[in-house]
Amino acid sequence: MDQETFSAGRRRGAGVTGEAIDRMRELIASGEWGPGTRLPREADLAKQLGLSRNSLREAVRALSLARVLEVRQGDGTFVSSLEAEELLAPALSATHLLRGRTVLELFQVRRMLEPEAAAMAATRSDAGVIAALGRELERMHLAGDRADELVEADAAFHDVIAGAPGNGVLQALLRSLSTRTVRARLWHGLADRDALDLARQEHARIYEAIAAGDADLARAATLVHIAHNETWLREHLGPADDVPLDGA
């Protein structure tokens, strides 16, 4: 078999697999297969969809990687929970591959979303959320000059805020953005020790605003905090540079 014939065969195979994926997605989107539904036996499903078993297996594998399906060894294949965080995770996980000044774009998106999340948190947070924010703020103070510990508590603090509005899509987006900017925040903390004290002060203002139920103040305090980090990074990251701290 020559290379051209082999390539054509691969394209046809990919097309059939794509068709299988589309058909299975339609069954889920229509509600015929809901969260937790156990799929029919492989032979029966292949017959139902008019597919070869190989194409069906490839489609199941692809949808499993996308967290649409869940393969349970010895038990069968099931539709996943279809929760926003699960479905968005595969795509958002690729943000850690972004290089150089693209990290500034992540901060810009955080600047668009997080102030509103903080404002919603100020109006919707219960005692449990306020207590969780207080614990993470305390961890930031206990970290002292240990930038890695402070940034870890910083990320957890923002994750609490992201979860407070009760919007799974928003939380998944903000969790990914926050996680992928940890490296830049750690660099900032190590390069400028005054940044650690400033971070504690800024987070204290956000905490106080949310605890007081002041949406406007929470929005403003969060905007100032994110913009400060973004500005520092813009000033210190060259056009062709990547954030240092390999392995951080």
- pLDDT averaged over 10-residue windows placed end to end, the chain, 248 residues: 42 66 90 92 89 88 89 90 78 62 83 95 95 97 91 93 91 80 74 86 97 97 93 76 52
Distance CA 118, CA 96 (A): 24
**Predicted pLDDT of residue 161:** 96
Distance CA 201, CA 95 (A): 29
**Predicted pLDDT of residue 7:** 40
Q: Which two tokens stand for residue 48?
A: 């139902």
Is the pTM higher than 0.75? no
List, in order, residues 6 or more apart from 102 with CB less than 8 Å away: none
Distance CA 124, CA 166 (A): 9
Task: Give the SS3 label for residue 79.
Answer: strand
**Predicted pLDDT of residue 96:** 61
Q: How many CB atoms lie within 10 A of CB 31?
A: 8
Q: pLDDT, tens digit, for every residue of 40-57?
A: 998 999 888 888 888 888
Distance CA 114, CA 218 (A): 10
